[in-house]
């Protein structure tokens, strides 16, 4: 019997590097190994040219100016630079930042750090569909509000926030708008200038590029945004982010952006079809629920709860065959239910029973069909073993039961 290949459906955690990206990077490890800040010889010039070209490729994908793209080590650093950098730069104007409870930890933990430094943070709740309430956002803005930070697309549910409308509210009140667009860039159109986003964080490894390299878009006009550097040194990246540039990584990032720009439409069409097929088949099972609005969602993501089944246990039934996650990669080491799903009003039981399926450029139809079969078998197996499922089948109203701790 041949060993089944592990089916990778965890592309929101990271994507495999596209072979074309790897090919573009290879020369910059040895033949063209220069430091982009070495201005006195050809090796340095080659590296600098390569970085400039990658910046151009990324700017084209976003439809922004090259100089508005600042390279970092990843989206977490970009988020830190945006939030801490704005908080320090605009301290005279105010100290109030608005975000949402369902943001990535890179935003929430940075906000926690800023609170200790004297920031006032408002954490907006989200509705059952995962979207913020625009009236709540507007009501939260005060004279000392300097920044609204809301993610473009959620890492766990794929829910896309109403970016245009949020931007209009920010503009009306003269407040800067930052978006953690890590899950959106390279997969759906993300044009910050057109939408009205002033700072935007993203990373290469979520869009078929290498790990360890990201960027922050910082608007240079209407408004001209400034952030204070969080890493000091030689004044690289227009003084906003010192440190020797990761030339091979940046070259790969540029290539990944170019491929995304050319192939995004066909990728989206193919993946949304596959995702819809996966979701339709799995939700034929009793007591399943898709989490997050289906009207405004990333094309490759489905977050599904299988009621009366424990998500981690369910994953154990097929984790030799399918790579998926319950919750986000950055917090899945804890057995707490997903704070994103709890924030959307799911009870602990449903939040605990959810699996995130995130498809990618290299996912095949055959793999999706195999995954459907394996998950279906896993859910049935877990439910066969579950006394709670048996009670549910017998018509017992589980909400009325008082569970004893003994």
Q: For 347, phi and psi rounded to 5 degrees?
A: -70, 160
Q: Is 224 exposed, middle or buried (0-12, 13-18, 19+ CB in 10 A)?
A: exposed
Residue 6, Cβ neighbours under 10 Å: how many?
A: 12
The verdict on whether 330 is a catalytic residue reads yes
| Pairwise CA distance, residues 190 & 217, whole Å | 11
Beta strands (DSSP E) in 104-187 are 120-124, 145-149, 176-180
Q: In what order do the strands lie in the sheet with 120-124?
A: 69-72, 214-218, 199-203, 176-180, 145-149, 96-100, 120-124
Q: Are the CB atoms for 206 and 182 separated by under 8 Å?
A: yes
| Pairwise CA distance, residues 261 & 191, whole Å | 12
Annotate 237-258 with DSSP letters as a single string. GGGTS-S---HHHHHHHHHHHH
Q: Is 264 exposed, middle or buried (0-12, 13-18, 19+ CB in 10 A)?
A: middle
Place of tokens 């977490």: 76
Pair of tokens at residue 107: 């935003």
Place of tokens 């990246």: 237
Annotate 304-335 with DSSP letters as a single string. EEETTS-HHHHHHHHTTTEE-BSS-TTTTTS-
User: Annotated catalytic residue: which of 17, 111, 170, 330?
Assistant: 330
Nearest to 393 by CA among 308, 274, 303, 317: 308
Nearest to 288 by CA among 275, 307, 301: 307
Residues noted as catalytic: 330
């Amino acid at each position: 019997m041949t060993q089944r290949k592990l089916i990778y459906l965890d592309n929101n955690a990271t994507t495999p590097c596209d072979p074309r990206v790897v090919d573009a990077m290879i020369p910059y490890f040895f033949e063209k190994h220069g430091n982009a800040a070495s201005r006195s010889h050809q090796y340095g010039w080659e590296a600098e040219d390569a970085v400039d070209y990658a910046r151009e490729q990324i700017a084209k994908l976003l439809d922004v100016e090259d100089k508005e793209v600042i390279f970092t080590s990843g989206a977490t650093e970009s988020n830190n630079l945006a939030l801490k950098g704005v908080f320090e730069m605009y301290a005279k104007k105010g100290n109030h930042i608005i975000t949402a409870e369902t943001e990535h930890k890179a935003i929430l933990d940075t906000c926690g750090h800023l609170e200790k430094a004297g920031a006032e943070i408002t954490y907006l709740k989200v509705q059952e569909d995962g979207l913020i309430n625009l009236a709540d956002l507007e009501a939260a803005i005060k004279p000392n509000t300097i920044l609204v930070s809301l993610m473009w697309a959620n890492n766990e549910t794929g829910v896309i926030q109403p970016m245009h409308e949020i931007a209009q509210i920010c503009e009306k009140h003269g407040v800067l708008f930052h978006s953690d667009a890590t899950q959106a860039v390279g997969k759906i159109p993300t044009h910050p200038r057109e939408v009205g986003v002033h700072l935007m964080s993203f990373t290469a490894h979520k869009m078929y590029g290498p790990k360890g390299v990201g960027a922050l878009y910082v608007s240079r006009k209407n408004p001209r945004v400034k952030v204070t550097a969080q890493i000091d040194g030689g004044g690289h990246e227009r003084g906003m982010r010192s440190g020797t540039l990761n030339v091979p990584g940046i070259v790969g990032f540029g290539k990944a952006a170019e491929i995304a720009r050319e192939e995004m439409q066909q990728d989206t069409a193919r993946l949304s079809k596959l995702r819809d097929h996966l979701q339709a088949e799995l939700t034929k099972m009793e007591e399943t629920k898709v989490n997050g609005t289906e009207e405004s969602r990333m094309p490759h993501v489905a977050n599904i709860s299988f009621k009366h089944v424990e998500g981690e246990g369910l994953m154990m039934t097929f984790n030799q065959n399918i790579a998926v996650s319950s919750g986000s990669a950055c917090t899945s080491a804890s057995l707490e239910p997903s704070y994103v799903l709890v924030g959307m009003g799911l009870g602990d039981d449903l939040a605990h029973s959810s699996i995130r399926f995130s498809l990618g450029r290299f996912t095949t139809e055959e793999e999706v069909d195999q995954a459907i079969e394996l998950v279906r078998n896993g859910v049935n197996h877990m439910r066969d073993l579950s006394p709670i499922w048996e009670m549910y089948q017998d018509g017992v109203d589980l909400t009325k039961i008082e569970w004893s701790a003994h």
